[in-house]
Structure 1
Amino acid sequence: MQPSSAEVDNAEKGVNTPSEHAPVQLTRLSVSITPGSGPVIIKSEHEKTNLKELAIKQSAPKPSQSKRKASRWIQFSLWYNTYRKFFTFVVSLNIVGLVLAAIGTWHYARQYTGALVLGNLFAAVLVRNELFGRFLYLFVNTFFAKWPPLWFRLGCTSVLQHLGGIHSGCAISGFMWLIFKLVLIFSDHKNNHSAVLAMSILTTLAVVVAIVSGLPWVRNTHHNVFERHHRFSGWVGVIFTWVFVVLGDLYDLDTHSWKTDGVRVVAQQDFWFVLGMTVFIAIPWFTVRKVPVEVEIPSPKVVILKFERGMQQGLLARISRSSVLEYHAFGIISEGIKSGKHYLICGVQGDFTKGLVSNPPTHIWTRQMKFAGVSNTSAIYKRGIRVCTGTGLGAALSTCLQSPNWFLIWIGSDQEKTFGPTISGLIRENLQGRVILWDSKQRGGRPDTMKLIKETYKAWDAEIVFITSNWTGNKEMMEGCKQANIPAFGTLWDF
């Protein structure tokens, strides 16, 4: 499902208008430009000029009229990514189990259907948990940094980036098993208590609302609806599930009476699954704090938030004006855990970010347990390139700030004026010799991004390219990298 046109044409991330540019000549450790026609380069740590003074004030050549379209196989292979492979595998496996249970071959599934429902839902919750995710990233970064074959490290990154396929696959599978359990209960409704029947319906309805509100088109185009309904219906569903499980385990179908023995409940598998699910849902909320924040508004398009605490690269923060409502995720910019501070770049487009401009906060709610993004696996690669457009810099800059082995390509419009001195200063002071800044406003359009990526990839001797852009830009660059056999990971839209 494609996002809305407003999202595709996100002004902060740049309109995807490709144009030709003159050849970019690179060496292993520096980038130089054919005089009079190229992106902005910071070459020396001793340069004190600002980014505007470094800009080459010349219009870009007219956009190329012909553009090679990616083959259907490339388009399909990018669409049918690891996320969808995980989803297909999980759902298919559960469908096979459902069929075997329905025809009476798999007796365990008919007797312990609740365990299969909650086992799937527990797995769905687990892979989305910040703590579990951080553990997986830490494990990969610790044991597989740089030494294994590239194909293995690429596989690790792909698995970690697409864990959402397991999340959605297990959620859908849990719902299918729940429907099956509902059928079994109501087919034997004479022996079941009315309270158990009622809770089975209420639990199913809560799960339906949580699943529908979490669909990609709802999440991408109606974020506030997703935040409120997916979270709160999920919480309600957990409460209903507890009641459903306890009532179901306490009611004796043989004697048609209630057994008040707590051991009877604890002895069941479904009790432990719902307990684990509850614990992992609750863990991130124990880290919610109201923290001081400094707000910088360099332009009407962007807000820069400054927080205390240095952070490792590749993390994202969730922030909100409320302790429980509408958390918004942004990439964290920090020079390292010892820097004592970190920043968020917020593009001004929705109600939340507009409120940061009209009513700047002095404190804001955040989860102190940050969650890891795909950039966190940059540690396992020897050298790489981070490509971003507009506010996508927020998810990209830390990787380049904290590792001298990463090269930054940032495409945007009037970058220093739009993003202000704080962000410009971080780039100027830390990325000499390994950054290309392309100002589409001064250059009269975007560069030929794939030519830029290919030449930089070869000159930098990179192993991997990470891309953060809008939907159109991401699609263009991912298809181009696939055609050029350049390993790349881009922004996920259907997750």
Structure 2
Amino acid sequence: MSSVPKANIPAYNDAEKGTLDVQPLAPATTYFPNDEKKAIVVADKPPADLPVAKKEAPPPVKPTPKGKKKVSKWVLWRLWFNTYRKFFTFTFGLNMIGLGLAASGHFPYAIKYSGAMVVGNFNFAILMRNEVFGRILYWFVNTMFAKWTPLWWRLGCTSVLQHLGGIHSGCALSGVLWLLLKVVNNFRHHDVNHDAILIMGVVTNLAVMVSALSAFPWVRNTHHNVFERHHRFVGWIGLLATWVFVILGDTYDPDTRQWNLSGVHLVEQQDFWFTIGMTVFVALPWVCVREVPVDIELPSPKVAIVRFKRGMQQGLLGRISRSSIMEYHAFGIISEGTHAKYHYMICGVQGDFTRSLVNDPPRTLWTRELKFAGVSNTSTLYRRGIRVCTGTGIGAALSTCLQSPHWYLIWIGSDQEKTFGPTISGLIHRHIGPERLLLWDSKLRGGRPDTMKILKETYEYWDAEVVFITSNYIGNSEIMQGCKEAGIPAFGTLWDF
């Protein structure tokens, strides 16, 4: 479940609606930027070895939608108070107890080393969002606990890895409040503090507050560019201000009212080393940024299939942008494996960035070569599982089923072959047999299915241990509620991180 209001999130995106309202449909076109003549290959139909939908009979009449099933408040509560919120409650609550004790004079250590309390929280918050740390953590869990450990333990590992954002949010907000306490204490004792320290304390506090506020879910999900610009660039300003604030505070002696410029005292302080850690964790992912050549396939006006060189392991996501530092967007990665020649991203047209991929296909894109792991990366923990997705969610789901014969794919959409083109269809039909594949075309079948009925039957037939879901907000919520009521272990898309 997510805390984002439903009004802020569309029920279905364009790609999930299919191509019913597009007349005529543009043929699938592939741009090859490496060719000076910009050769264009047109594919009006899928390859001959792929099944073709029968068109003799008109699609059945769409059934009358049933009333929404009422879900118990206990189920809703368990979904809302997920591991993310448990992590947030624990980290933020523990910090607030410490801050309360410090403010009341019962925690003198925190007052003496208040700078360490501030940057220590920020350091841990940034670490939770570091791609290198995340990949190492996923690798360790997938290597050590795959298949042989009890199911409850493996489910717990997946839940912890998926919801590390709760620690990130809890520590970040706690750091802001610890910093506020430190600045207030500095002003309370302004007679023994230098004006430069007081000024930098205010500047640092304002910067980190703006960065933190811009990351609230309703801002992030409804105004992505506002979130990214403020969270990233104001956050960088906050990091620079933190450096100045820490150095000034650690080199100024309030007792003698003099500056200690020897540097020995500075390197002995905890906050100095915590700030170094913050800087390394912030900078490390940007060291991996590269501009890479891409091929853009446009099977329909609503979807762009971006092709990159080299194969990838399953369960990874990548960030792409037209600029080296601006407007990065994350998409699931489709690949046949690390041995493959290419990997793909499916970009459904939802905003200015994805629309520009269709209207003005680029020859190159900026991306971080080091990809970050998503919840699907833990699929190796389980003996058998089900991957459910709708529309463009196939981008995050497909690799798991391509690379493992123990995963069953359920893909619900409208006119998938025409909307997503021969490349995606070819990958599915070459690697996933009919015994572990259900493609539901809502256009051909006259409407969306009873997803929970299908899922329960498939769960029993496939003898699955877990279900992974990638869908829109409403679809994800309904399936998660149904799985929770049915006692089926499931992990869905997050809007909280």
RMSD: 1.5
* Aligned: 1:226 with 2:223: no
For residues 95-494 of structure 1, the aligned pairs below 5 Å read 95-432=96-433, 433-494=435-496
TM-fit CA distance, 1:60: 6.0
Q: So what's the TM-score if we normalise by structure 2?
A: 0.91
User: Structure 1: how far apart are the matches of 2:324 and 2:306?
Assistant: 18
User: Structure 1: how far apart are the matches of 2:448 and 2:57?
Assistant: 14
CA 75–56 in structure 1, closer or farther in 2 if over 3 Å, else same: farther
TM-fit CA distance, 1:66: 3.8
Equivalent position SS for 1:12: helix
TM-fit CA distance, 1:309: 0.9
TM-fit CA distance, 1:49: 3.8
* Selected match of 1:10 from 8, 13, 19: 13
User: Structure 2: how far apart are the matches of 1:398 and 1:270?
Assistant: 43
Q: Which AA in structure 2 matches 1:447?
A: P
TM-fit CA distance, 1:68: 2.5
User: Structure 2: how far apart are the matches of 1:85 and 1:54?
Assistant: 51
Cα deviation, 1:228-277, whole Å, max 9, x if unaligned, reads 11000110000000000000011110110111111111110000000001
Match of 1:22 in 2: none
User: Structure 1: how far apart are the matches of 2:371 and 2:365?
Assistant: 15
TM-fit CA distance, 1:442: 1.5
User: Structure 1: how far apart are the matches of 2:65 and 2:423?
Assistant: 35
CA 240–51 in structure 1, closer or farther in 2 if over 3 Å, else same: farther
Unaligned runs of 5+ in 2: 19-47
Q: Is the 8 A contact 1:14 1:389 kept in 2?
A: no
Q: Which AA in structure 2 matches 1:479?
A: Q
Q: Is the 8 A contact 2:304 2:358 kept in 1?
A: yes
Moved more, 449-458 or 50-59: 50-59
Q: Which AA in structure 2 matches 1:162?
A: H
User: Structure 1: how far apart are the matches of 2:276 and 2:132?
Assistant: 17
Structure 1 vs Structure 2: percent identity of aligned residues?
64
User: Structure 2: how far apart are the matches of 1:474 and 1:55?
Assistant: 34
* Aligned: 1:79 with 2:80: yes
Equivalent position SS for 2:147: coil
Cα deviation, 1:344-399, whole Å, max 9, x if unaligned, reads 00001111011111111111100001000000000000000000000000000000
Equivalent position SS for 1:289: strand
User: Structure 2: how far apart are the matches of 1:314 and 1:57?
Assistant: 38
Q: Which AA in structure 2 matches 1:352?
A: F
Equivalent position SS for 2:13: coil
Equivalent position SS for 2:389: strand
TM-fit CA distance, 1:183: 1.2
Equivalent position SS for 1:337: coil
Q: Which AA in structure 2 matches 1:459?
A: Y
Q: Is the 8 A contact 2:8 2:222 kept in 1?
A: no
User: Structure 2: how far apart are the matches of 1:344 and 1:424?
Assistant: 14
User: Structure 1: how far apart are the matches of 2:109 and 2:56?
Assistant: 69
Match of 2:38 in 1: none
User: Structure 1: how far apart are the matches of 2:304 and 2:466?
Assistant: 30
Q: Is the 8 A contact 2:470 2:492 kept in 1?
A: yes
Moved beyond 3 Å, runs of 4+: 3-6, 53-58
Moved more, 6-15 or 393-402: 6-15
User: Structure 1: how far apart are the matches of 2:17 and 2:85?
Assistant: 28
User: Structure 2: how far apart are the matches of 1:486 and 1:14?
Assistant: 28
TM-fit CA distance, 1:14: 4.4
Q: Which AA in structure 1 matches 2:200?
A: M
Q: Which AA in structure 2 matches 1:191?
A: V
User: Structure 1: how far apart are the matches of 2:68 and 2:365?
Assistant: 46
Q: Is the 8 A contact 2:346 2:392 kept in 1?
A: yes
User: Structure 1: how far apart are the matches of 2:400 and 2:56?
Assistant: 24
Match of 1:27 in 2: none
Q: Is the 8 A contact 1:3 1:217 kept in 2?
A: no
TM-fit CA distance, 1:281: 0.5
Unaligned runs of 5+ in 1: 16-46
TM-fit CA distance, 1:59: 1.9
CA 302–280 in structure 1, closer or farther in 2 if over 3 Å, else same: same
Q: Is the 8 A contact 1:125 1:281 kept in 2?
A: yes
For residues 21-60 of structure 1, the aligned pairs below 5 Å read 48-53=49-54, 58-59=59-60
Q: Is the 8 A contact 1:51 1:424 kept in 2?
A: no
User: Structure 1: how far apart are the matches of 2:210 and 2:68?
Assistant: 43
Q: So what's the TM-score if we normalise by structure 1?
A: 0.92
Q: Which AA in structure 2 matches 1:220?
A: N
Q: Is the 8 A contact 1:293 1:364 kept in 2?
A: yes
CA 412–381 in structure 1, closer or farther in 2 if over 3 Å, else same: same
TM-fit CA distance, 1:2: 2.1
CA 225–392 in structure 1, closer or farther in 2 if over 3 Å, else same: same
Moved more, 58-67 or 99-108: 58-67
TM-fit CA distance, 1:5: 5.0
Match of 2:39 in 1: none
Equivalent position SS for 1:324: coil
User: Structure 1: how far apart are the matches of 2:66 and 2:392?
Assistant: 28
Equivalent position SS for 2:304: strand
CA 101–244 in structure 1, closer or farther in 2 if over 3 Å, else same: same
Q: Is the 8 A contact 2:401 2:407 kept in 1?
A: yes
Q: Is the 8 A contact 1:57 1:443 kept in 2?
A: no
Match of 1:34 in 2: none
User: Structure 1: how far apart are the matches of 2:14 and 2:149?
Assistant: 40
Cα deviation, 1:413-461, whole Å, max 9, x if unaligned, reads 1100000000000001011121100011111210000000000000000
Q: Which AA in structure 2 matches 1:236?
A: I
TM-fit CA distance, 1:403: 0.1
Q: Is the 8 A contact 1:3 1:221 kept in 2?
A: no
Q: Which AA in structure 2 matches 1:10?
A: N
CA 196–92 in structure 1, closer or farther in 2 if over 3 Å, else same: same
* Aligned residue pair count: 464
Q: Is the 8 A contact 2:305 2:344 kept in 1?
A: yes
User: Structure 2: how far apart are the matches of 1:116 and 1:60?
Assistant: 63
TM-fit CA distance, 1:174: 0.5
